[in-house]
Structure 1
Amino acid sequence: MAGLHRGNLHVTRPADQCEELSWHIPTRAGERVRVREWTCECRAIVYELCFSGGVGFVRRTKRRGRQVAVAETDRWGSRRVREVWSALLAGRMR
């Protein structure tokens, strides 16, 4: 359903041959981003499925004590980013 926000998702452990995503330091400060889905905060790494300006990407936030590191994937069209999101949740990508 469009506009549905989903949380409490959990990421499956990576498969032996999982595909590596390219992660980049965010560079678009002040950009308006819609977070559509996210993984549960019960783990040290939280992933978010984000959309901005007609494209989508995945944001990864790693927390270790007071340290927080945020990274984002490349940006893709809606279909591709949803494929990446599904593969990440299933452990086929990291």
Structure 2
Amino acid sequence: MDSKDIRIKIFNNHYTLKGDDVELLEKSAQYVDTLMHKVQNDIPNQSDFTVAIVSALNIAENYYREKNSSFVLDQNYKSLIGGLNSQVKEINDYIDSNT
């Protein structure tokens, strides 16, 4: 895909970025903007820099929480697949020994 110029607005500032997935970039910008306004409402009278840092930490925390959740799901999936493979092997061994 070709990179396209995308104009977004985050926390009352306009940015022109390049990206392949316009929809994803716009959705991401909207998420960041919404979160920054929420942080500003939660901790009023803070500088834009502080709002940006707290927002970035919230995003990072959410990212690592999801990453950990994904890792746990992946481990559970691998365990289930391992169990199923063992059962299939047992069934095949049983069939082989009785034919």
* TM-score, L = length of structure 1: 0.30
The structure richer in helix per residue is: 2
Q: Which has the higher contact order (CA 8 A, sep 6+)?
A: 1
TM norm structure 2: 0.29
> Higher strand fraction: Structure 1 or Structure 2?
1
Mark the structure with the bigger radius of gyration: 2
